[in-house]
Amino acid sequence: MRERFLTGYNDFVLPFVLGMAFIISYCVVGMVRIILQLPAEDRKRFFISLVTPATLWKNIKDIFLKCLIHVDIWKRNKLLGYMHSSIAFGWFMLIVIGHIEVFLYTPHRAKLFYYPIFFRYFVAETESTMKGALIFFLMDLFLLIVLSGIALAIIKRVRSVMFGMRRTTNPSFFDLVGQYSLWAIFPLRLLAESFTADISGGSFLTKSLNHVFTSFLSNHANMLPAWWAYSCALGVFFFVLPFTRYMHIPTEILLIPLRNAGIKIRNARKGLAKAQVYSCPSCGLCIDACPMGVMKANIRDTTVYLNRQIRRQNEARIEEISDKCLLCGKCTAICPVGIEGDKLRIAQRSIRKYNLSPDYSGIPVSGLAAAAGDFSGTGHGERILYFAGCMTALTPAISRSMESILKKAGADYSFMDRDGGICCSRPMFMAGRFDAAKQLIEKNTEIIRASGADVLLLSCPICYKIFKEKYRLDGIRIVHHTEYIDSLIRQGVLTVEKDGTRYAYHDPCELGRGCGVYDEPRRVVEAAGVLAEAAKNRKESICCGGSLGSLTLGFDKRRAMTENAVTNLMAGSPDRIATACPLCRSTFGRYSGVPVEDIAEIIDRKTTKTDRS
């Protein structure tokens, strides 16, 4: 390879250079701002994580697998995965191999950052260049891979169903500008490199095209407009990037280390929240996932639109979207980037100003603590404190079954809120009213600690989640009744009569996605009957529609959601629906054609007294 120009410069590189300079400075400023916005302890934690070998390795691995290969999207849909990784990984490889070329043939130009991008324009092939045939081939191969990705992206705009997406996001104006310039970059690169291929060399793609072009475009002067167009496409893309969804490309590289450092959202708009909002690629996977989307309703209230409105600072819409959400967490579970739609919304709710704030500090706890400490005293093993919660108080069949199971198991138990108790605070927490929630947490902590229990047993996943996450109950094991019943069955304390009844198990949001309990309830159901899985289950389970999460959805709006969730559960034609949440149970009970039961009720029905009691 030899250089064709002494200066190593042509004016056409300017759009690219300016665009690149703009976007790099924008990203650096943005990154510094986000890091500065983190609370001091989080920032320290972040920096430490960056030099800790384990997290460092995880960061590199995650960035490679998520940003370039897009493994999560592959798992979802192969075609969608290929589309994303072909563009991201293909482009990345073009940049890498481009730099290798520069270092191999014109090392003295390595300091010019536009040189690898427009390398083919500046060099001419010599006899000795044949050694580079492999590199030429790779460059053309990756260009072809990227082009195939772009072709798929264009098809996806028209027929997203092919890619496993029923609905996609409505692009904003800047998104469209960014998208068209991105789509233009690679065909223009092919065009430019093909024009130059007889001088600078090329492989199967560029060389062949060059032969076609020379047959009717003999003049080499035509190459310059093509290179200008290529550079302009890059320049436009970089200039609009901060205002488009493509901002997710640089932001995700920051989000991954932040997440791996274990940082949580502390501010509704700053720090991690900001990184998450800007990491949203507007792919729209959350639109199909959202349980509010049945009958094509509430599509504009999904996480992708929340992110867009936060970027636009449209406060009225942010409030509407944040308050409407059921907080089922499904968008978070399926988001390929890892945006926490539910937590982001709770954060938005937390900055709301209220004229009235409840004060729970005056609730007396001594009476409740005394009642909680009144264990049945069978002397078998651990002291189990059973907290039914308000939702279970409204479904007394569940607490009654649970008490019966505890008796059958001969457990040394106490029913903490038999005569009323204090709210676990999860509803307050969901409403973003953290101070009020904290007061309730303190009250309950006092009662539970005073009781001298070893285990806190819960029937309601809503309570379970907050007890696990926000309570400091060191030394006290927190279990949901499905886990407890599962352990009783496995230890042989309970003997369950199995029959042929088919049960569809509904994963409650707070128990499944919220706490990761998927297998224990299924094992329990299988001990009593046959498990008929729903069409969408586990992580993808559909919210019953009764969630306390939404502050604004009325019963009339929720009906379609519940009916949709019931239809999903009926996929395996079950005889009964089993669930493990009192709220899901009463919500489904209103609309289901088959009986709906809590796992505790099923087990109580199908067990007889054992010798232990």
Q: How far is the CB of 33 from other proteins (least distance, A)?
A: 47
Here's the x/- map for other proteins, 542-561, by CB under 8 A: it reads as ------------xxx-----
Return the number of the residue (144 or 394) whose C-beta is nearest other proteins. Answer: 394
Q: Alpha-carbon torsion 287, 293, 296, 302, what sign?
A: negative
CB of 289 to other proteins, least distance (A): 27
Pick between residue 474 and residue 556 the one whose CB is nearest to other proteins.
556
Stretch touching other proteins by CB under 8 A, among 148-156, 203-211, 287-295, 389-397? 389-397
Query: Which residue has tokens 């060389």?
Result: 207
Token pair, residue 611, equals 């010798």
| CB of residue 376 to other proteins, shortest distance in Å | 12
Q: Which stretch binds other proteins (CB under 8 A): 6-14, 239-247, 387-395, 524-532?
A: 387-395
The torsion region of residue 536 among left (phi > 0), alpha (psi -120 to 50) and beta comes to beta
Work out whether 576 is an interface residue with other proteins (CB under 8 A): no
Closest to other proteins by CB, 167 vs 557, is 557
- For the CB of residue 393, give the shortest distance to other proteins in the complex, in Å: 5
Selected range binding other proteins among 47-55, 60-68, 282-290, 396-404, rule: CB under 8 A: 396-404
Q: Which window, 29-37, 74-82, 395-403, 602-610, contacts other proteins (CB under 8 A)?
A: 395-403
Question: How many CB atoms are closer than 10 A to CB 172?
Answer: 16
* 460 vs 468: CA distance, rounded Å: 12
Residue with token string 């001594």? 366
State the minimum distance, in angstroms, from the CB of residue 481 to other proteins.
Answer: 17
Q: Which residue, 180 or 555, is less far from other proteins as judged by CB?
A: 555
Q: Are 456 and 473 in contact (CB under 8 A)?
A: yes
What single-letter amino acid sits at 116?
A: P
Closest approach of other proteins to the CB of residue 588, in Å = 12
Residue 109 binds other proteins (CB under 8 A): no
- 115: CB partners within 8 A, 6+ apart: 8, 102, 106, 109, 122
Binding mask 577-606 for other proteins (x = CB under 8 A): ---------x--xx----------------
User: Contacting other proteins (CB under 8 A), which of 69, 393, 548, 570?
Assistant: 393
Are the C-beta atoms of 467 and 458 separated by less than 8 Å? Answer: yes
Size of the site for other proteins (CB under 8 A): 14
**Nearer residue to other proteins within complex by CB, 202 or 389:** 389
Q: x/- contact string, 344-383, with other proteins (CB under 8 A)?
A: ----------------------------------------
The closest of 253, 268, 255 to 310, measured between CA atoms, is 268
| Contacts for 458 with CB less than 8 Å, ≥ 6 apart | 386, 387, 389, 464, 467, 478, 479, 480, 481
Q: State the first-to-last Cα distance of the chain, in angstroms, to the nearest integer.
A: 88
- Residue 255: left if φ>0, alpha if ψ -120 to 50, beta else—which one? alpha
β-bridge mates for residue 506, sequence order: 579
Position 394 contacts other proteins (CB under 8 A): yes
**What H or E segment, with its residue span, contains residue 560?**
helix 555-569
Task: Specify the residue, 506 or 522, whose C-beta has the smaller distance to other proteins.
Answer: 506
Q: Kindly tell me which of 89 and 415 has the beta carbon lying closer to other proteins.
A: 415
For residue 532, which of 580, 582, 584, 569 has the smallest C-alpha distance? 569
Q: In this structure, what is the dihedral angle of CA atoms 300, 305, 310, 315, given to the nearest 10 degrees?
A: 0
Task: Name the residues that contact other proteins, by CB under 8 A.
Answer: 393-397, 400, 418, 420, 554-556, 586, 589-590
